[in-house]
A = this chain, B = another copy of it.
Amino acid sequence: MANSHNWITPYEKRINSALGSLLPDDDSILSKAIRYSVLNGGKRLRPLLVYLSSELGNSSPEAQDSVSCAVELIHCYSLIHDDLPSMDDDSLRRGMPTCHKEFGEAVAILAGDAIQPMAYYSLTNSKEIEDKHKVSLVSLLAEACGQNGMVEGQILDISENKSLSIEDLDYMHSKKTGSLIKTCLEMGGLISYLPEQEINLLSEYGEKVGLAFQIRDDIIDLQSPTEISGKTQGADILQKKITYPNLIGMERAKKRTIELCEEAQETVKKLSGDSTKLIKLSDFISNRNY
């Protein structure tokens, strides 16, 4: 991530290493497509949220890695499917050809389909999480990425609707990216035995930074050149998507990102643990260019 956010680098290395060990590494086209799509230097925001929230309580590094891998795997599978020709039809992801461009459409669909159960397997396979927590984690993750979560958001995103209000856009994003982001924080709180009240605060923080992250994504799409963002600049316009800048204007969109991050910071200041890194992360989210 950005230079002023060097504190993030060790977490990135840690999740990349954990994912590298977890993923299959044989010569099959499926394994190649999976490694290609997962180990491609993403921002790793979701694992970072798991690490930061779980560090507030008591949890083992192994448990943290298991949950971090699970959420990143779900995110990666969703990106592979979102990029498909019948969805966003995107050819560039993280600066590289998208999975279906590199391996063909059938392999891309199946790579996504294989990554999804890997996430649940990662949760149940942890040696350091107790059974009752594993059950809650599977349940939380399944809800976040199902019919009333991520997939609902994606359906709304690809549906043609030229008269979206800002509330509609907020709702779509709260499902498409918000559900999983919020769940990362809840899962981190759960495995480190935080009290319910603290988990609720983390969840609220997740809702705010999740939305801020998405608005910033729309801004980046317009302002950030492909060589910095790793995505096709202006892809949203090409796909005629309704974004925050074209709905409320660039300045108001930027202002809203900052406000949401300030609210998120106020929320985590109420935590009994040290919220410094969660605060720094929200700063990064409101200022990032990729």
CA distance A131 to B135 in the complex (A): 7
**B147 to A118, Cβ gap below 8 A?**
yes
Q: How many copies does the complex hold?
A: 2
Report Cα–Cα, A154/B24, bound state, in Å.
17
* A96 cross-chain contacts in B, Cβ below 8 A: none
| Residues on the B chain within 8 Å of A105, using CB | 86
Q: Does A121 contact B (CB under 8 A)?
A: yes
Query: What secondary structure prevails in chain A residues at the interface with B?
Result: helix
Kindly state the separation between the CA atoms of A133 and B13 in the bound complex, as whole angstroms: 34
How long is the Cα–Cα vector from A65 to B70 in the complex, in angstroms?
A: 27
Q: Is the CB of A109 within 8 A of B87?
A: yes
List the B residue with the shortest CB-CB distance to A30: B155
Please tell me if A116 contacts chain B, counting CB pairs below 8 Å: yes
Are the C-beta atoms of B147 and A124 separated by less than 8 Å? Answer: no
In the bound complex, do residue B117 and residue A145 qualify as a contact, i.e. CB atoms below 8 Å apart? Answer: yes
Task: Determine whether A279 belongs to the interface, using a CB cutoff of 8 Å to chain B.
Answer: no
Contacts of A143 in B (CB 8 A): 117, 121
Instruction: Provide the residues of chain B in CB contact with A109, threshold 8 Å.
Output: 81, 84, 86-87, 109
Max chain B CB contacts within 10 Å: which of A24, A147, A158?
A: A147
Which residues does chain B contribute within 8 Å of A107, judged by CB atoms?
A: 155
CB distance from A136 to the nearest CB of B (A): 8
Q: Name A's B-contacting residues (CB within 8 A).
A: 24, 28-31, 34, 78, 81, 84, 86-87, 104-107, 109-110, 112-114, 116-118, 120-121, 123-125, 131-132, 134-136, 138-139, 141-143, 145-148, 151-152, 154-155, 158-159
